[in-house]
Amino acid sequence: MHTTLHKPAPTRMIATGEATAILPTETTPPIKVIGTEAIRDTFDDVCLQQAINSRLAPGVTDVVLNPDAHLGYGAPVGCVMVSPTHIYPGPVGVDIKCSMSLLQLDVPADVIEDRQTRRALISAICQRTPTGAGKGQRSVKKSRPVNRTLGKQLVVEGASESVCQQLGIPVDWADRCEDSFHLGHDETRDALGNRLEVLLAQRHMSNFSDKMSQLGSYGGGNHFGECEVVHVGDDDRSRSVAETFGLRDGKVAFLSHCGSRGFGHNLASGQFKTLQHKFSKWDIPLPAGDRQLVYAPLGTSEADDYLDDMALGANFATANHLLINALVLEAFQEVLPGTTGSLVYFISHNIARKEIMDNRPTWVHRKGATRAFPAGHYALRETPFADTGHPILLPGNPRDGSAVMVADAGAEQACFSVNHGAGRTLGRRHANRVLDQATIDKEFEQHDILSNCRFYPKDEAPAAYKDFEEVLRSVKTAGLASEVARLKARFVIKDASKADD
DNA sequence: ATGTGC
């Protein structure tokens, strides 16, 4: 919204393959675009202008626009921005370490065919993992209290052994995380403890204890929990990779999407304000005139503070996701005694990570983009996924399903990243105006997908998102990743507070 | 995304 169009509408993209293109700019190397022609037609001018602004911003060496790209804060949602020298809070986003996680259960699909069973599961899950803005813990409070002391520990340590034990999270789930913890700017834990004390003295952090009590909650917007049936692809590679991932064909799994809740929002918005104020006070030119693209050069105290805040928020998001998965498993066990479950993976799409690219360390900002390291990548050496690549969790929509993918060698051309889902095609306001409630709810009924919402939010309806098949086709055709399994929705947990009145 | 809009 704040992005200004300095130039006339961006020049047209030039196709370099069936699902790849470049977006030329006047003064820098071209931006890489992933998407078939049909997908490239979905990018509006402001989204493309944000990509160009990001590419021209100081210290940026690479930008990739993914098929799910749409308007974001400074940079498009659905892009990768790389810089060895500068950190950009906007292109991480307001929901620090917003992520996906997938819990594989040993429940055969036919056990949840019965609608009463699914209703009981919805109820048991909603009791434990609330949705909606500001909603903290409900019954969770009794079994998993998060007091100030534990809160301070978990934002500094992430999913450490001690934190997991106190929260009732299986300790070995930490091995199934893209990152189970985040360190401070100097790669120590102490830096985070010190930064936290500074933050706690500030007025906008006076609600710290309240924010900690939100642990184990989904929030609103596009966040969700979804019960799935796993359909592993019937080729040899899919079957073999699925086994390494711990996916079980024909069984139930649970997919979650949420982030760092109010705590991460406080940290991110605090950083936007601080940096925007400094740019203004010191009269530093804004990249493309866009205050959403304020940055900090690495090595400055401003960059140190941002990296520490990002890590604190990321640690909260990590503990939040793992606790949600533990609570979902507990809910299944209440309804279906004896159920066991294991975490397939937990992976973010809103984070900046230090990675080695072209033999040098650089900061990869993934803004609505998912890390995609293929088999043999150096960073997977010590993980269960060294020989396959790690799981990539891609939410589509309840009607058309979601996908588990694995990176191919071609992911390197996209800075080892893929999209993070389908991507919006209708803005929220537009969707609420043009979509019909009865049609949406009837469609869920036709597909026998239950929900905790009496009326499914219109701005979250499948029709508000891009064609998932075309998005997946883009990723596959560009050679970035291959499909391992499809997830078919059986019920959905969403924030119903806006639609359900 | 967000005790939801500067």
Q: Does the annotation place A350 within a ligand binding site?
A: yes
Q: Answer yes or no: is A185 a known binding residue.
A: no
- Name the catalytic one among A321, A377, A390, A420: A420
Indicate if CB(A209) is under 7 A from strand B: no
A265 part of the active site: no
pLDDT in tens, A8-66: 556 689 999 999 999 998 888 999 999 999 999 999 999 999 999 999 999 999 999 99
Q: Which nucleotides along chain B are within 7 A of a protein C-beta? A: 1-4
Identify the three-state secondary structure at position A6. Answer: coil
Residue A209 known to bind ligand: no
Q: Is A441 annotated as a binding residue?
A: no
| Model confidence, pTM | 0.96
Through-space separation of residue A457 CA and nucleotide B3 C1' in angstroms: 20
**CATH 3.40.1190.10 is right for the domain spanning A14-493:** no
In angstroms, the CA A473 to CA A67 distance is: 10
A55 touches strand B (CB under 7 A): no
Confidence at A137, pLDDT banded by 50, 70, 90: low
Residue A276 pLDDT class (50, 70, 90 cuts): very high
* Smallest CA–C1' separation from A218, nucleotide: B1
pLDDT in tens, A422-479: 999 999 999 999 999 999 999 999 999 999 999 999 999 999 999 999 999 999 999 9
Please state the three-class secondary structure of A209-247 as a single string. Answer: HHHHCCCCCCECCCCEEEEEEEEECCCHHHHHHHHHHCC
pLDDT top residue among A115 and A138: A115
Nearest nucleotide (C1') to alpha carbon of A498:
B4
- Return the CA Rg of chain A: 21
Contacts of A103 (CB under 8 A, 6+ apart): A253, A254, A255, A256, A325, A328, A329, A341, A342, A343, A344
A1 has a pLDDT exceeding 80: no
Q: Which helix (H) or strand (E) holds A38?
A: helix A37-40
Q: Mean per-residue pLDDT for A162-184?
A: 97
Instruction: Show the DSSP H helices in A67-217 as ranges.
Output: 115-128, 140-143, 148-157, 161-167, 190-200, 208-212
Strand B atom within 7 Å of A131 CB: no
What does the pLDDT look like over A352-381, one tens digit per residue?
A: 999 999 999 999 999 999 999 999 999 999
Residue nearest to nucleotide B3 (CA to C1'): A134
* CA gap A315, A309 in Å, rounded: 10
Bridge partner list, A483: A405
Dist. CA A267–CA A270, nearest whole Å: 5
Q: Would the pLDDT of A401 be above 80?
A: yes
Token pair belonging to A162: 């001690």
For the stretch A280-305, pLDDT in tens is: 999 999 999 999 999 999 999 999 99
